[in-house]
Amino acid sequence: MKIFVIGKKGQLGQEIERRCGGAPYKVFSYGREDLDITDHKKVSEVVGKVGPDIVVNCTALHASLESEKKPGGMFEVNAFAVKNLALVCAKNKIPLVTYSTDYVFSGMKGVPYKESDHPTPVQMFGISKYMGELMAINYCPDSIVIRTSGLYGGLRGSRSKGNFVLNLIQESKTKKTIEVSSDQIFSPTYVEDLVAASFELLKKKARPGIHHIANGGYCSWADFSKEIVKIMGLKTTIAPVNRKGVWGGIKRPLFAALDNSKVKKMGIEIPSWQKGLEKYAHFLENNI
Ligand SMILES: NC(=O)c1ccc[n+]([C@@H]2O[C@H](COP(=O)([O-])OP(=O)(O)OC[C@H]3O[C@@H](n4cnc5c(N)ncnc54)[C@H](OP(=O)(O)O)[C@@H]3O)[C@@H](O)[C@H]2O)c1
């Protein structure tokens, strides 16, 4: 089975490449340097040449104050490039898997969001990702859009921003106390669990459309941090602060937990966020 992965140097891309490293899979993976997803012509040429059985889009430009002010680049990667990829997939009759985020929601519902809930993003990043979802679904009828939340994994995390767990470990080396938001609730997700559940979804021939995959349960960033400190034995104290849904100058959804019940009903097991974190601690312990 030929899998075409675009965005291979990210947390998700690396984990997909690792998981598919052998029969029955043959991975054709590309980092930004090899294949820029915004180069529509080249994307079309390379996909056509490889002739994959499935295309997995792992690229994203994340929320940043700079992109909020000048969102053009974010829309190019998160939305218009997804439209092109979807058109290429539809033309070649290849299913497209692309990833989205809990940030498509406003965070005002108060209980975990289901796939049937209407997105109402509160910042340009969420709007660009929601547009990407619409692009995939509208332009490639075989698209599977997987929404996830608070992703972490790998030895270095994302090239652009590391990840929350690694950054906290680093900060704990120099700070006795670290302030973390207590107001934003989310479902922290270990990339290994996300990829395992994504492959299960494909194996079970999930119907096209939106699917939520995040580790089970939810917590605030402060609670998540306390659990990291406990599990990893860090020498720092977490001081919860109420940032009223704004962090780094960007408005964030207050309660963005994702409801997993749709994929669970398909028989796909997704561990709790605490179990995911334990596995990541184990991974870091054995690889650093
Ligand atoms: N991280 C989270 O907390 C989180 C939460 C919810 C949903 N998600 C979603 O999950 C998916 C994977 O996220 P992730 O954490 O793996 O992100 P990541 O580690 O930042 O990886 C994204 C990759 O996209 C690449 N990229 C950016 N612009 C590109 C372009 N023009 N052409 C080709 N590649 C480009 C980046 O390249 P460089 O390595 O050169 O930067 C990076 O390797 C995304 O759809 C994201 O929106 C993530």
pTM summary value: 0.98
Spacing, Cα 288 to ligand 1 middle (Å): 23
Give the ligand 1 atom nearest the CA of 36. 32
Domains of the chain by residue range: 2-153+190-214+260-271
Q: For ligand 1, atom 44, which residue shows the shortest CA distance?
A: 60
3-class DSSP state of 242: coil
For 2-153+190-214+260-271, CATH number out of 3.40.50.170, 1.10.645.10, 3.40.30.10, 3.40.50.720 equals 3.40.50.720
* Helix, strand counts (H, E) of the chain: 11, 14
**In sequence order, which residues have a C-beta less than 8 Å from that of residue 130 and are 6 or more positions away?**
100, 104, 119, 121
End-to-end CA, the chain: 33
Pocket of ligand 1 (CB under 6 A): 7, 9-13, 32, 36-38, 58-62, 77, 99, 101, 129, 148-151, 158-160
How confident is the chain (288 residues) per 10-residue block, as mean pLDDT? 97 95 90 98 98 98 96 98 98 98 97 98 98 98 97 96 97 98 98 97 96 98 98 97 96 97 97 98 94
Spacing, Cα 237 to ligand 1 middle (Å): 30
Spacing, Cα 235 to ligand 1 middle (Å): 31
Phi first, then psi, for residue 76 (nearest 5°) are -60, -45
DSSP character at residue 102: G
Query: Candidates 41, 151, 184, 212: which one to mutate for ligand 1, based on the most atoms within 8 Å of Cβ?
Result: 151
Phi first, then psi, for residue 18 (nearest 5°) are -65, -45
pLDDT of the residue at 288: 78
3-class DSSP state of 251: strand
Parallel, antiparallel, or unpaired for β 250-251 and 246-247? Answer: antiparallel
